[in-house]
Every structure is written in C-alpha cells, then in structure tokens.
Amino acid sequence: MSIKEITRACNDKRMVLGDGLKGMKKVALAFSGGVDSTFLLALACQAGLEKVLAITVSSQFFTRAEKELARKLAKSLEVEHICLDLDILERNEVVQNTPERCYFCKRHIFSLVRKTAIHHGIDRFLHAVNTDDLGDFRPGLAAAKELGFVAPLVDAGFSKQEIRACSKQMGLTTWDLPSQSCLATRIPYHEPITREKLGMVEQGEAFLRELGFGNVRVRCHGTMARIEMDPGEILTLARKDMRQSVSRGLKQIGFTYVACDLDGYTPGNMNTFLTK
C-alpha cells in the first residue's frame, strides 16, 4: 500500500475505533506500554469516556525498562495507572514452559487485571491485540476471551503497520518503538524457565541495545545465546571489533557460547517447530 492509502485506511479505522470506544462508559486496559496498547490507550482517552484505567502487570517476564516506560507513558497521557506485581515463577504450569505456557500466563495476568478493574467499578476490559497477532500461535488470546476481554483494534481491523502510522500522526513517541514480547519467548518450549535465564536474557538484550542494535532478541538455548536482529544489522555485528565485544559481553553475563541467527529476527520464532 502507498503512504496515502495507508493514511486513508488509518483515518477510516480510527473513526470506527473511536465510535466503538464511545459506546463504553468505563474501561480498563491491560497496558504494557508497547506500540499497540499505548495507541489504544490514547484513543480511549480521546473518546471522552467517564473513566479510563490503565493496568500494568509486572512479572519476571516484563523488564524493568518496560515497567518504567509504561509508567511514563501513562503519566504523559494523564490517565490513571495501576502497576501490579505478579510472581509468575510461582506458577508451575508456567515454569514448565509447554506450548500452552502463554495461555496459563495470560490467564493469571488477565484475571488480575479483571479483578482490579471490577474493584474500581469497571466491567469493560480491553487488550491491545491487533490483526497481525491473529496469524501467530497465541494461546493467550483464548484466556483473554474466556475472561471477557475485548480487542477493539481487531474489531476495527488495525494491523501493526497501520497502528504505527496512526501513532506517528498522533505524535505518540511509541510509533517506532521496537516490537515487545515477554522474556519467556526467548526460551525454547519444554526447557524450564528460571529467574537466572530470564536475567541473562534481559541483561543480554540491554547490552546489545547499548551497543546500538535495535530490534534484537537473545534466545537462550541452555548456555548458548542465539542472537536475532534485523538482517541489515548483521554486517555490523560481524565486524571483528563488534563481534569480539558482543561475545565478551554476553559471556560475562553467563553464556558459554554466542551465535548469530543468519535469518535475522523473526517474530514467533520459537513457535516454528509447532507447525512442522
């Protein structure tokens, strides 16, 4: 699609989304501070609702940087924001890391959001899934539906690209924010999730971003770090000085081996074997 076509589609869908939100008096949004949830929160604030509540659930799968960003974004939008802590590693069905992990995790998270919203007199619950998300293996969507969450971005037909375009039009700083996903997605299914592994992943990705890499993932395969990044950045990583710095830095964090995935960053990469 051309930029003009994308802009026209975005404007039409924004009207649909705005009309849908106006039919809700009070809403609570499961707010991560990512591109999608920030866009939805901003539109909800503009819809003139009686009450808008942003609820962030912070677990070991949510980085400290993401938690702080969510806080800052909610403050900038002047919306009431509640941040709840959840020890997700207490849940054995999550720690076991089966392909259904996302369902169990989201069930706990959305139950907490729902309970908090009801406590504040709100019975409409939103989450910011978009149409692109429907094409991936996301068992957490079933948990959201079971608990009565609705997906206004899907109902209005918003893709990720359109959300970014609209966010840019609206002046939202998140329009070009790299895609976020929980840290558990860095660990292969059936490999138990531990606090140590999550910490290594979080530190490793923060380290790579400090070196200037953008959309990056550190997949944790035992003691090996498999780096995924945008293909255009692989040549930068391959430079001798950069390669040595990355290897040394990740080994200091705790990895024994460091590898680069030549296919580059692929969303949902850990789900690949499920379709074979």
Domain ranges of the chain: 3-176, 183-275
**Within this chain, domains 3-176 and 183-275 share the same CATH topology:** no
Neighbours of 219 (CB within 10 A): 19
Amino acid identity of 66? E
- Count the Cβ atoms, other than its own, within 10 Å of residue 146: 13
In tens digits, what is the pLDDT along the chain, a chain of 276 residues?
666 676 777 888 999 999 999 989 999 999 999 999 999 999 999 999 999 999 999 999 999 999 999 999 999 999 999 999 999 999 999 999 999 999 999 999 999 999 999 999 999 999 999 999 998 889 999 999 999 999 999 999 999 999 999 999 999 999 999 888 899 999 999 999 999 999 999 999 999 999 999 899 999 999 999 999 999 999 999 999 999 999 999 999 999 999 999 999 987 777 766 654
CATH architecture, domain 183-275 = 2-Layer Sandwich (3.30)
How remote is the C-alpha of 189 from its chain's centroid?
19
Phi-psi region at 222: left, alpha or beta (left = phi > 0; alpha = psi -120 to 50):
left
Residues whose CB is less than 8 angstroms from the CB of residue 19 and which lie 6 or more positions away in sequence, other chains included = none
Give CATH for domain 3-176. Answer: 3.40.50.620
- State which H helix or E strand residue 10 sits in: helix 3-22
pTM above 0.85, yes or no: yes
